[in-house]
Amino acid sequence: MNLVVVSNRVARGAANEPMTGGLAAALLPVVEKSGAIWVGSSGRVRDGAQKEPFAEIEALGAGALAMLDLPAAHYGGYYEGFANSALWPALHSRTDLIRASQEDYLSYREVNAFMARALLRFQKPDTAFWIQDYHFLALGSELRDRGVTQPIGFFLHTPWPAHSTIEGVPHHRELVEAMLAYDLIGFQTRDDCENFLDYISSDLALEIDDGVITSRHGTTRAAVFPIGIDAEKFALQAAKAMSHPDVSRLRRSLNGEKLAIGVDRLDYSKGLVNRIKAFDQMWSLHPALARTVSLLQIATPSRGAIEAYGNLQSELAKLVSDVNGRHGEVDWTPIRYLNKGFSQTVLSGLYRTAQVGVVTPLHDGMNLVAKEYVAAQNPADPGVLVLSKFAGAANELDTALLVNPHDIDGMARTIATALYMPLTERRMRWEAMMAKLSAGSIQRWFADFVDALQETHADKTATEMP
Ligand code: G6P
ipTM of predicted assembly, 2 dp: 0.99
We find that the CATH architecture of domain 231-439 is 3-Layer(aba) Sandwich (3.40)
**Burial zone of 87 (CB within 10 Å; 0-12 exposed, 13-18 middle, 19+ buried):** buried
Using the 8-state DSSP alphabet, how is residue 155 labeled?
Answer: E
Å from CA of 8 to ligand 1 middle: 8
Q: Is the CB of 21 under 6 A from ligand 1?
A: yes
Q: Is the CB of 303 under 6 A from ligand 1?
A: yes
> What is the position in ligand 1's atom list of the atom closest to the CA of 7?
9
Catalytic pick from 264, 267, 280, 364? 364
> What is the position in ligand 1's atom list of the atom closest to the CA of 22?
7
Q: How many CB atoms lie within 10 A of CB 336?
A: 16
Helix axes 190-203, 172-179, angle to 10 degrees: 110
pTM over 0.80: yes
pLDDT tens figures, 31-68: 999 999 999 999 999 986 456 677 899 999 999 999 99
Q: Is the CB of 361 under 6 A from ligand 1?
A: no
> What is the position in ligand 1's atom list of the atom closest to the CA of 303?
14
> What is the position in ligand 1's atom list of the atom closest to the CA of 158?
8
Same fold, 2-227+442-458 and 231-439: yes
Active-site residue 192, yes or no? no
Spatial separation of the C-alpha atoms in residues 312 and 274, rounded to whole Å: 12
Q: Is the CB of 133 under 6 A from ligand 1?
A: yes
3-class secondary structure for 248-315? HHHHHHHCCCEEEEEEEECCHHHCHHHHHHHHHHHHHHCHHHCCCEEEEEEEECCCCCCHHHHHHHHH
Spatial separation of the C-alpha atoms in residues 447 and 89, rounded to whole Å: 30
Catalytic pick from 92, 157, 163, 457? 157
Which of 6, 8, 23, 364 to mutate for ligand 1's pocket (most ligand atoms within 8 Å of CB)? 23
Active-site residue 163, yes or no? no
3-class secondary structure, 353: helix
Which of 20, 137, 155, 269 to mutate for ligand 1's pocket (most ligand atoms within 8 Å of CB)? 20
Å from CA of 120 to ligand 1 middle: 25
Å from CA of 21 to ligand 1 middle: 5
Phi, psi of 111 (to 5 degrees): -70, -35
Q: Is the CB of 23 under 6 A from ligand 1?
A: yes
Residue whose Cα lies nearest atom 3 of ligand 1: it is 23
Residue whose Cα lies nearest atom 14 of ligand 1: it is 303
pLDDT tens figures, 351-386: 999 999 999 999 999 999 999 999 999 999 999 999
Class of domain 2-227+442-458: alpha beta
Spatial separation of the C-alpha atoms in residues 180 and 160, rounded to whole Å: 15
Å from CA of 176 to ligand 1 middle: 20
Task: DSSP for 59-115, please give it.
Answer: EETTEEEEEEEEEHHHHHIIIIIIIIIIIHHHHTT-GGG----HHHHHHHHHHHHHH
Spatial separation of the C-alpha atoms in residues 110 and 119, rounded to whole Å: 14
Which of 17, 157, 188, 371 to mutate for ligand 1's pocket (most ligand atoms within 8 Å of CB)? 157
Per-residue pLDDT of the chain in tens (466 residues, 90 and over written 9): 899 999 999 987 665 666 655 788 889 989 999 999 999 999 999 986 456 677 899 999 999 999 999 999 999 999 999 999 999 999 999 999 999 899 999 999 999 999 999 999 999 999 999 999 999 999 999 999 999 999 999 999 999 999 999 999 999 999 999 999 999 999 999 999 999 999 999 999 999 999 999 999 999 999 999 999 999 999 999 999 999 999 999 999 998 999 999 999 999 999 999 999 999 999 999 999 999 999 999 999 999 999 999 999 999 999 999 999 999 999 999 999 999 999 999 999 999 999 999 999 999 999 999 999 999 999 999 999 999 999 999 999 999 999 999 999 999 999 999 999 999 999 999 999 999 999 999 999 999 999 999 999 999 888 876 5
> What is the position in ligand 1's atom list of the atom closest to the CA of 84?
14
Burial state string for 28-59 with b = 16 or more CB within 10 A and e = fewer than 16: bbbbbebebbbbbbeeebbeebbeebebeeee
Using the 8-state DSSP alphabet, how is residue 394 labeled?
Answer: G
The pLDDT of residue 50 is 54
Q: Is the CB of 158 under 6 A from ligand 1?
A: yes
> What is the position in ligand 1's atom list of the atom closest to the CA of 24?
10
Which of 133, 155, 188, 363 to mutate for ligand 1's pocket (most ligand atoms within 8 Å of CB)? 133
Q: Is the CB of 418 under 6 A from ligand 1?
A: no
- Sorted by where each begins, the domain ranges of the chain are 2-227+442-458, 231-439
